Every structure is written in C-alpha cells, then in structure tokens.
A and B are shown apart, each in its own frame.
Chain A
C-alpha cells in the first residue's frame, strides 16, 4: 500500500486481557516508531526500531508493554494484562529518520 496501515482500527478489551496491535509500514522505511495518544493529549513516544533492532524503548510505560519487528518490516505492539489506563490511540509511524515521520491511522484501544 501507499501509506502506513494499522490493524485493528478499534479494539475493545476487558481488563486483564492481552492485546496485539499491528503496524505495516511503508515499504523501504527502515525506521518504525510507536506512540501512545491519550484523549486530549499529543502523541507520546513509546519505542523505536531501526530495521529489526529495537534501539529505544524508553517510552514503554511498564513491562506489560512489548514491541517487536522480527523481519524489519511489520511490527507488533503487545500489551499484557491490559488496564483501564492503557485506553488510548496507538500510533505507528515510519520514516528515514526520527524527523518527518509518516503516521498510520492508529488503533483506538478501549479497556473496560
């Protein structure tokens, strides 16, 4: 596809459930970023990959959050034992550097 795609677009989870969010970046973009956007806030950095290497995971809020990009293309953000405070839009972005990142539409996660 021409842009970054994310699936599912919407996810409702019961508290304590595990979820997996998928990101398909633009072909050729070696850098991939995950952000969390809470209601009324700007996106907040979670983690960064260059190809398959996770170079920065300083923004992951807890050890319940885990991201991978095993083949340097598709990435998955996994949240274990979801909590209500995990409810947010999760954005994936790709690019050639940290600057000028191209964002996907996001996955809206609601934890009940």
Chain B
C-alpha cells in the first residue's frame, strides 16, 4: 500500500527551463510534506517543506505547492541548472511521526 506516490520515474528538462516534479498521497491525515534531493552514493538532502495549513512555500529557485483537496503536491525548480540533476523524493508525515517516502523521480537537466 503505497501512501505516497511519484508516478514519474524520470524527467528530462532543458537547462534554464522549469522543472515540475509531482507527488500524490492517499492518507488524508498527512499534515507535513517535504522534498529531498539525492545524489548517487550520498544520503538524501532536505530541500524544502510545507505544512498542510499552507498551499505554497518558496525558497529561492524552489517552490512547493500543495493541493489538499486533490491530495497532490508539486515541486517547481526555476530556472533549472545542471547541478539539479538528481533523484527527488517527496515525503509526508502525520504530526511528528515517521516520514513516508515516495519512490523518487530522477531529474536530468540537459545543458
């Protein structure tokens, strides 16, 4: 039972354009959502988060949008840079409980 789903295993985007990574969840109790970035042979690195009381959070080139009614969140990266090439995981939690991760999306930025 996959409670957090990332349906796109991979995504390729031209450098300078916008990258949009999507995530869907099924557990309506989730109230905190995070995005992590992972390079090969390294652990995931925290990128940005959003609480369920908000619908948008922005940090530099990264913006996360949350649509609670659709149980959907997305990560926008603009402009995309070659260093953004990595695997991106979305994760969710209920209050201060364990994180549930999606299966990841491999983003490739084409120079």
| A interface residues (Cβ-Cβ under 8 A, vs B) | 4, 33, 40-45, 48, 56, 58-59, 91, 93, 97-106
Contact = CB atoms under 8 A, between A and B. Distances in A.
Contacts of B69: none
A48 B98 contact: yes
Contacts of A56: 97-98
Chain A interface mostly: loop
Contact of A44 (B6, B97, B101): B101
Contact of B98 (A42, A45, A100, A102): A45
B34 interface: yes
Interface core residue of A41, A42, A100 (most chain B CB under 10 Å): A42
Interface residues on B, range: 20 to 34
Nearest to B104: A42
Contacts of A98: 93, 95-99
Interface string B35-56: 0100001111110010000000
Given A40-B103, A98-B93, A91 B34 contact: no
Contacts of A97: 96
A102 B102 CA distance: 17
Contacts of B45: 103
A97 B95 CA distance: 10
